Structure 1
């Protein structure tokens, strides 16, 4: 497995990329074509659906950024990390933990869990 923190940072870079063409390129680089993403609020399969999920989150929370919380942990093709989402340079209002399965160093499946969500979100 590549460095767990680097993989988690590449993943979060996708969620932070607001240029649609660049975001799609990042998805193609870091996710396998048949990848899946699932969390309590949404799910998608394949590059186009994952891109749509990211765009929807960016529309819902304009100006917010994802940041890694602590250190990512990995073994074999498994990855676990926590993240925060909040205004750029501000405190994370939403926090979660994701578990990922890699294939050839690329994301195959990501299962997200929400650890902190304000009532207004």
Structure 2
């Protein structure tokens, strides 16, 4: 008997973990890598003092096409939200937010500074 015969139909119908990003339209490993590259570039710009870099600045830092941010995240605001979620600890340190504050307040401050909006509940 072949090993694949013991796998249920439901297993094959579930999406692969890398097939969709939680941020936007990454439909492949390549798209997920592009998103990571853009997030890295955005974080570097924030760490250097540009709190809300433009999509052009992010793309230039990532050394990619100018419209890559919109292709991967839809809008720059969605990239900011992804950045605030994924890099919370690093952003908190870079922005000088004291760790003595309650965690919820720290998260709220990071979201307000980086994304310009309240963190969704």
- Name the TM tier (shorter chain): under 0.3
User: What's the TM-score once normalised by structure 1's chain length?
Assistant: 0.27
User: What's the TM-score once normalised by structure 2's chain length?
Assistant: 0.27
Larger RCO, structures 1/2 (Cα 8 Å, 6+ apart): 1
**Per residue, is there more helix in 1 or in 2?**
2
**Per residue, is there more strand in 1 or in 2?**
1
